[in-house]
Structures are given as C-alpha cells and as structure tokens.
C-alpha cells in the first residue's frame, strides 16, 4: 500500500552536513521543510570521516564554532610528507586554521539546529525514487524502515543531499544534462581508525598527510591528532581497477610504525568520497543536488563538510526565491549553479586539474618535485585557498629534471598551472541556462586534455 503524505515546500533527502544546512536555512525562513534520513535519529552524523574542518567555514557561514563534545582539538596547519620522508612541506597560515571534531556530536548539533528552526525529521526512512509529474520532480517515494511502509512525500522542490549514494541523481532524465554517474577514478575508497596512542605526539595541532603512491595509489594516508592523545588515522585510495584495500595498506605500512605500538582502537570505519569537480549542472526541474551527491568535496584532500554546508545554504536561498516567484523549473533554479560555480566551484575545478596531475606522478616525481620546491610551501597554502598555482621552476630545478630525463614533467606541470587558470576563469563565467551546452563542452575538452596528459622520460 502506498500512503501519501502531506505536501512540503522543500523535501531534503539526507540529514548529513549539506542536508541539515539546507533544511535549517529554509525552515528558518518560514518554509515547510521535511528532512529524511535512513539513519535513526541518534545516529545521524555518524560516518567515516577524518574529522578535520577549516575555521573559515564557520566564519563565512556565520555558524557557531565546535565546542564542548563536538570539539576534539584545534588545527594550526598541515605537514605534508614526501614519499621518501626526506621533505616535509609545512603548510601553515590563517586559512588553514581549523578544528578536529567528533563527527557524531557535530552531526547531532546540525540536525538539532534544523529541527529547532522548524524542519520535520523522518528518520529511519530510506528514499527510493524520485516522483515525476509533467517532466518535473514533485516528490520522493520512501520506505519507512520501522513499519516497512512505502510512502510518497510530495513537495515543491526536492534537495538531494544523500551523499555519494546519489540515489536520485542516478535517476534523472538524460535531457536535463545532469551527469548521473560518478566514475571510480573520481572516487577515493577510505578506511580509518580512531586510536588512542601510548606515546605522546609532538605538535598535536598539526595534521599530517603522507603522499606515497605505493601505499596509497592516487591518494594519501593521514594522521590527524585529536584530544586525549588519540588520532584519526586513515588511508584513501583511488578506486581504479585492482586498487589495494586501504585497510590492508594501513595495517601493513602504517600501524606497523612505532607510533602505533600498543595503541588501542576506539572506532573503525570505511567510506568513499568523490574527488572530482562538482557535477557540471546541479539542478533539474524541481530538484537540486548538494554535497557529495553533487561531487562538491575538495578534489585534493577530499574535505567535503565545508562545501556541503556552503552549498546547502545557497541551495536553500535559491529555492526559497524560486518558490516565491513560482518557478522551480531547471532554469528557475539555475542561479544555484551560477553562484556555486563562481565561488567554491571555480576553486574546486582548478584543484581537480591539479589532482589529475598528482595522480599521474610516481613517488620519484613527488620526491624530486617536493625536494626542489617546484611549488613553495606558502604557494601551496595560497593555491589551497583558491589562488592561482604559482610555480617555482628555478634553473637548478630545471638542471635536476634534465639530468633525470624528466623535462616533460616540468612541461606538464606548467601546462597544469595554465589549465588551472583557464578552468577557473571559465567557471567564473558560468553561463546562463541557454549558454550551458557550449560552456560544458569547453570544460569537458579541458578536462579530457588534463586526463590524457603524459610525462615520460625524454
């Protein structure tokens, strides 16, 4: 039996960071919002996560910083280690100040805030399908997991914030020009443990990222200190054919290190994160995509909490305006694409070009590149904040790479920096609805060029 529920202004699918921010913003403006999540109420927010988030997100979104149970430490910067451990990039600065959080407590705060603003929560409810009427999404078909009932929830607009499962995006009609699939090469498969150490960690305010293509092909492993001498330790590996298990890699290469001797496992979990540029079009008729369902995490480090919250707030504001003027069509919701892509989207797209370059590097490339400081530490910081990638290809570095018969590496790095600038500029001119196809074609050509770029020994 299918039961029909009352009609909402906005249905938000997924009560993660993106969904809660969407629901909270719209409910705060007086709209009738329902928030649906498959998890039970008390488990919302629990997921595999490195638990690091930048302070600037809280400042920009004007939400209160983590405190009490949510806060697990302050972050002052990141140390990035070369594969041979000979070079450490110390990336520090105000833009990298942040927090280590306890993910469940943080998620609970966000869902409470959405409910306090008036959103209604359907927990333990799995969204199965979009409901279409006259080529428009008008609701979702869901299963109440306790009563095993199928229910239809209707709304003026659906916001899909269900994370990487992208359950609704996969079912969008092709003529809406929304990419319905995320390819494995654009996903990192991760495993992490929270461990209590027996030895004290120096500089507990610094996150540690270890590049090593043999241990984590196409990704990295991390050690992020939390309070009480515990650490969040994990590995992310690009999901391409034959990829090794991140858990096996962590146990063989990381937990065998002296730091982890007699450490105790507090929690273990696995998950996936999309690491490509946001999907080119994030709206359809009556629907928008927010967070991982729109591939919004930072392509270099996979941090997606901040972007999902930025997008959630923006999506809500656009939806509320569209409802007011009674145009929730794809073009009526288009401003969401334009505003997001001009801001965080442009930075993410440029970093995605850099990600494609880094994933082609072998450990020697990374060792030599870092040792010769082809990008300076302060410029890594600037690039991570969205500025252009500034290269530091000195005469000495050129001689070193010539000696290695790897001049093509420097040329590829140069082309990468140029493509990053080009892409950013195109994103800042994200088109109106009618100009989309031409724009998307240009973007696809640049990314296809970046994917095909090679640098061998010449």
Ligand X SMILES: Cc1cc2nc3c(=O)[nH]c(=O)nc-3n(C[C@H](O)[C@H](O)[C@H](O)COP(=O)(O)OP(=O)(O)OC[C@H]3O[C@@H](n4cnc5c(N)ncnc54)[C@H](O)[C@@H]3O)c2cc1C
93 vs 271, beta carbon nearer ligand X: 271
Smallest gap from residue 81 Cβ to ligand X (A): 17
237 binds ligand X (CB under 6 A): no
160 binds ligand X (CB under 6 A): no
Which parts of 186-215 interact with ligand X (CB under 6 A)? 190, 192
130 binds ligand X (CB under 6 A): no
Smallest gap from residue 292 Cβ to ligand X (A): 4
Binding mask 303-332 for ligand X (x = CB under 6 A): xxxx-x------------------------
Smallest gap from residue 212 Cβ to ligand X (A): 17
Smallest gap from residue 304 Cβ to ligand X (A): 2
163 vs 299, beta carbon nearer ligand X: 163
Q: Contact region for ligand X (CB under 6 A) — 41-49, 69-77, 255-263, 359-367?
A: 41-49
Residue reference for tokens 């043999």: 214
Angle at 27 between CA 149 and CA 342, to 5 degrees: 105
37 binds ligand X (CB under 6 A): yes
Smallest gap from residue 234 Cβ to ligand X (A): 6
C-alpha to C-alpha distances, 319 to 5, 162, 298, 326, nearest whole angstrom: 21, 18, 24, 10
178 vs 374, beta carbon nearer ligand X: 178
What is the C-alpha separation between 21 and 35, in angstroms, rounded?
11
287 binds ligand X (CB under 6 A): no
Smallest gap from residue 118 Cβ to ligand X (A): 20
304 vs 332, beta carbon nearer ligand X: 304
104 vs 320, beta carbon nearer ligand X: 104
Residue reference for tokens 């920096």: 417
Q: Contact region for ligand X (CB under 6 A) — 37-45, 61-69, 369-377, 388-396?
A: 37-45
Near ligand X by CB under 6 A: residue from 155, 302, 332, 369:
302
Smallest gap from residue 326 Cβ to ligand X (A): 28
Q: Contact region for ligand X (CB under 6 A) — 36-44, 60-68, 150-158, 393-401?
A: 36-44
Total residue count of the chain as it appears in this document: 458
Q: Contact region for ligand X (CB under 6 A) — 83-91, 212-220, 302-310, 314-322?
A: 302-310
51 vs 179, beta carbon nearer ligand X: 51
291 binds ligand X (CB under 6 A): yes
Q: Contact region for ligand X (CB under 6 A) — 286-294, 324-332, 382-390, 426-434?
A: 286-294
Smallest gap from residue 14 Cβ to ligand X (A): 3
| Closest residue by Cα to residue 75 from 97, 55, 49, 59 | 97
Near ligand X by CB under 6 A: residue from 9, 12, 24, 50:
50
144 vs 408, beta carbon nearer ligand X: 144
15 vs 380, beta carbon nearer ligand X: 15
SS3 letters for the chain?
CEEEEEEEEEEEECCCHHHHHHHHHHHHCCCCEEEECCCCHHHCCCCCCCCEEEHHHHHHHCCCCCCHHHEEEEECEEEEECCCCCCEEEEECHHHCEEEECHHHHHHHHHHHHHHCCCEEECCEEEEEEEEECCEEEEEEEEECCCCEEEEEEEEEEEECCHHHCCCHHHCCHHHCCCCCCCHHHEEEEEEEEEECCCCCCCCCEEEEECCCCCCCCCEEEEEECCCCEEEEEEEEECCCCCCCHHHHHHHHHCCCHHHCCCEEEEEEEEEEECCCCCCCCEECCEEECHHHHCCCCCCCCCCHHHHHHHHHHHHHHHHHHHHCCCCCCCCCCHHHHHHHHHHHHHHHHHHHHHHHHHHCCHHHHHHHHHCCCCCHHHHHHHHCCCCCCCCCCHHHHHHHHHCCCHHHHHHHHHHHHHHHHHHHHHHCCCCHHHHHHHHHHHHHHHHHHHHCCCCCC
| Closest residue by Cα to residue 201 from 233, 165, 235 | 233
Near ligand X by CB under 6 A: residue from 112, 136, 145, 165:
165
66 vs 291, beta carbon nearer ligand X: 291
Smallest gap from residue 165 Cβ to ligand X (A): 4
Residues that bind ligand X (CB under 6 A): 13-19, 36-39, 44, 47-53, 126-127, 161-163, 165, 167, 190, 192, 234, 271-273, 291-293, 297, 302-306, 308
């Amino acid at each position: 039996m299918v039961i029909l529920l009352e009609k909402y202004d906005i249905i938000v699918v997924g009560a993660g960071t993106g969904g809660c921010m969407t629901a909270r913003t719209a409910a705060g403006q007086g709209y009738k919002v329902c928030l649906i999540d498959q998890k039970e109420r008390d488990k919302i927010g629990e997921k595999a996560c490195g638990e690091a988030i930048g302070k600037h997100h809280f400042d920009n979104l004007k939400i209160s910083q983590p405190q009490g149970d949510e806060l697990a430490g302050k972050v002052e910067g990141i140390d990035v280690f070369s594969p041979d451990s000979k070079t450490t990039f110390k990336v520090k600065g105000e833009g990298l100040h942040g927090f280590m959080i306890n993910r469940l407590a943080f998620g609970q705060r966000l869902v409470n805030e959405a409910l306090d603003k008036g959103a209604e929560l359907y927990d333990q409810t799995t969204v199965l399908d979009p409901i279409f009427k006259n080529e428009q999404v008008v609701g979702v078909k869901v299963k109440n997991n306790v009563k095993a009932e199928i229910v239809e929830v209707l709304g003026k607009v659906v916001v899909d914030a269900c994370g990487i499962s992208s359950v609704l995006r996969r079912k969008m009609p092709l003529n809406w020009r929304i990419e319905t699939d995320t390819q494995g090469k654009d996903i990192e498969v991760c495993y992490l443990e929270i461990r209590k150490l027996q030895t004290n960690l120096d500089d507990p305010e610094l996150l540690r990222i270890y590049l090593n293509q043999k241990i984590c092909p196409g990704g990295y492993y991390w050690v992020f200190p939390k309070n009480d001498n515990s650490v969040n330790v994990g590995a992310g590996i690009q999901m391409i054919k034959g990829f090794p298990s991140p858990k096996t890699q962590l146990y063989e290469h990381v937990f065998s290190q002296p730091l982890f001797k007699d450490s105790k496992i507090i929690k273990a979990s696995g998950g996936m994160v999309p690491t490509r540029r946001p999907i080119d079009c994030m709206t359809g008729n009556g629907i928008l995509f927010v967070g991982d369902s729109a591939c919004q995490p930072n392509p270099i480090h996979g941090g997606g909490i901040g972007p999902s919250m930025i997008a959630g707030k923006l999506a809500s504001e656009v939806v509320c305006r569209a409802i007011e003027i009674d145009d929730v069509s794809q073009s009526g919701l288009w401003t969401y694409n334009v505003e997001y892509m001009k801001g965080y989207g442009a930075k993410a797209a440029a970093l995605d070009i850099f990600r494609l370059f880094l994933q082609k590097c072998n450990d020697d490339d990374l060792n030599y590149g870092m040792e010769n400081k082809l990008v300076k530490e302060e410029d890594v910081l600037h690039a991570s904040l969205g500025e252009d990638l500034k290269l530091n290809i000195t005469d000495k570095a050129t001689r070193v790479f010539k000696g290695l018969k790897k001049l093509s590496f420097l040329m590829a790095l140069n082309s990468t920096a140029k493509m990053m600038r080009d892409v950013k500029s195109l994103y800042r001119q994200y088109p109106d609805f009618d100009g989309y196809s031409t724009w998307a074609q240009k973007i696809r050509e640049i990314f296809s060029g970046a994917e095909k770029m090679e640098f061998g020994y010449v």
